Amino acid sequence: MSAEPHFSAVFGKDILVFDGAMGTELYRHHVFTNRCFDELCLCEPDLIRRIHADYRDAGADVLTTNTFGANLPELSKFGLGERLREINVVGAALAREVADAAARPVFVAGSIGPISRGPDGGPDIPEMLADQIHALIEGGADFIFFETQPTRESLEHCVHAMQAASDFPFLLSFAIVGNAETVAGEPISRMMAPFSEGSPSPAGWGLNCGTGPDGLLGAVERMSRLTSLPWVVQPNAGIPREVGNRRIYLCSPEYLVTYALRFIRLGASGVGGCCGTNPDHIREIAAAVKPLAKAQIRPTVVAPAEAVPEREPIPLESRSRFGRMLAEGRWATSVELLPPRGYDLSGILEKTRMLYNRGVSAVNIPDGPRASSRISPLIAAEHIWRASHIEPILHFCSRDRNLIGMQADLLACAACHVQNILFVTGDPPKLGNYPQATGVFDTDSIGMVEIQARLNRGIDLGGRALDAPTSAVIGVGLDPTALDRRRELDRFRRKVEAGAEFAITQPVFDPDALLKMLDEIESLGIQPIPIIAGIWPLASLRNATFMQNEVPGVEIPDEIMRRMGSVDSREDQLKMGIEIAREAVERVRARVAGIQVSAPFGNVLTALGVIEA
């Protein structure tokens, strides 16, 4: 099949898995380094096809041509300069052939590596690049991929060369080394600065080679703040070790996956590998990433033979006590408690009774946080409601349910009188204790809101009428410290348009970040809904350090870390954590509808220390 839809229509909208290294794979197949690897497209095409097919079968969405060094200066070293066009055309055609044999869209990246003019002069660099560009396009590349570019000047040569094919998409990917700089000492901000007016615009950016995944993390964080274009990250498989006079890459596939997921959370549109990575690395990345890509799919409503009229949703104030508080603008409080790992609910029921007796409005029940296995949160929520009389806010994630099970559980919520539901996409299984588990992700939080909104109007996902509409109060998440703020605000708008009626934020350690996001929401004209501020009273400096480094979506300012470290005893650190949390509440109180306070390590007295202040 042909690679449809077009690359430009997909890149930046879906998460694409790029392939791994070609050069080190050829070396693994016993090709000596004194060979011209690019010429293998002509003399050993079956080997090149096999490597491309291995990456395709591992789950790669993008195959990179074996033409990294197929430029005039490099080929001339082997007496192959006159075969430049032939090598590039065939290199692209081989990847195209393997891509088209897939039962899914697979794209071909026309690889162009660094190029320099020889000591004897010769053609200008953009002219030499243009020869390679035209040959790769002729061979069937979907886009041009300028890889491992070393300097700002080299990027400018690439852009200048694309003027001869200005309507063809291209990516600019450069290598960084220590301190997130190029080998020439140029910072990322210099590499990604705007090009001269009238220059062709890249479809996206990339970071590849130079260092391993950990070494790229800081650079990725900076890149995410510098561009609104999509971008790709392809680290090496760690730093090579000298083993028996060989340079061996020892980075495991599992290790690379943990960083690939971090890159995606920071906003990457594509992840893959560079030197030292192989199909095993890409297979693990694809297994972890594809569920995330799948989660971008909206649920499709099946049209019944006869149209079913929608019913008017039950008024918000009539659905639950919590819904009435939101509708009337009354201050709402909630405490988050994790369901137990076993099935004994007596401990959590005792805590929720205390919260009810102390006047707390609701209790939040997470759904498998950090991909952990706990008792069904729906069962916990129902027992809490019946035994403690405090209303639960049930977190509901798409990770573990297909559309059939999702709708069944939402109807079960209605039957159990669990009316307040917070929809979250959920953490991938790779982050939890069961990394071999399969994530479902038939849809994401936006799609789940759409489903619940339909159920509230009395129609199921199949377009059939329910006996009675459900009466869920629909909640969603909001991250005030998201690095990709544009994406976060866009997703929040779509959540509200889908039917969200309240939002709970990630833990707010920087009140100014939340206030700024609330200003942005207002300025963008997004329909206002009640916002509940997430508050996490830090239990200790160790707790703060863990939150800062290990919990996705949490960003703790340096000043708070300093304050937590300014007292020594565990007791004093807990008092400091409560004090900081109280200050955050006072700072945002006038702009939010209430607070959700986490109970660190299940200590509800800590949460009450914040709420009752």
DSSP structure string for 85-98: HHHHHHHHHHHHHH
Long-range CB pairs of 554-557 (<8 Å, 24+ gap) are 554/481, 554/506, 554/507, 554/509, 555/481, 555/509, 555/510, 555/513, 556/509, 556/510, 557/509, 557/510
* Mean pLDDT value across the chain: 88
Q: How far apart are CA 384 and CA 378, in angstroms?
A: 10
Query: Judging by DSSP bridges, how do beta strands 391-397 and 531-535 pair with one another?
Result: unpaired
Mean pLDDT of 303-308: 61
Two tokens at 225? 């703040």
Lowest mean pLDDT among 98-102, 359-363, 418-422, 544-548: 544-548
Instruction: For residue 463, name the pLDDT band (cuts at 50, 70, 90).
Output: confident
pLDDT score, position 437: 65
Q: What angle do CA 98, 99, 102 make, to 5 degrees?
A: 95
Give the integer Cα–Cα distance in Å for 427 and 420. 21
pLDDT tens for 581-602 read 999 999 999 999 999 999 988 8
At position 251, the amino acid (one-letter code) is C
Q: What percent of the chain stands above pLDDT 90?
A: 64
Measured distance CA(513)–CA(202) in Å, rounded? 31
**Other residues' Cβ atoms within 10 Å of the Cβ of residue 199:** 14
Tens-place pLDDT, residues 465-523: 999 999 999 999 999 987 668 878 988 999 999 999 999 999 989 999 999 999 999 99
Name the least confident of 19-33, 412-426, 579-593. 19-33
Torsion of CA 102, 105, 106, 110, to 10 degrees: 130
Q: Which domains are seen in the chain, by residue range?
A: 7-294 (3.20.20.330), 316-611 (3.20.20.220)
| CA dihedral sign, ordered 67, 72, 77, 81 | positive
Residue 589: CB partners within 8 Å, gap ≥ 6?
A: none
Ranges assigned E (strand) in 498-575: 502-507, 531-535
pLDDT in tens, 128-143: 999 999 999 999 999 9
Whether 66 contacts 91, CB under 8 Å? yes
Give the pLDDT band (50/70/90) at residue 3: very low
Give me the percent of the chain exceeding a pLDDT of 70. 89
**pLDDT attached to residue 462:** 81
Q: Which residue has the tokens 């639950």?
A: 320
Q: Output the pLDDT for position 249.
A: 55
What's residue 302's pLDDT? 54
Least confident of 237-246, 312-321, 443-452, 514-523: 237-246
Q: Tens digits of per-residue pLDDT, 168-211?
A: 999 999 998 877 788 888 999 999 999 998 899 999 999 998 88
For the ranges 252-256, 340-344, 369-373, 571-575, the lowest mean pLDDT is seen at 369-373
Q: What are phi and psi of 18, to 5 degrees?
A: -85, 160
What would the mean pLDDT of 136-154 be, rounded to a whole number?
Answer: 96
Higher pLDDT, 536 or 217: 536
Cβ atoms within 10 A of the Cβ of 350, count?
Answer: 12
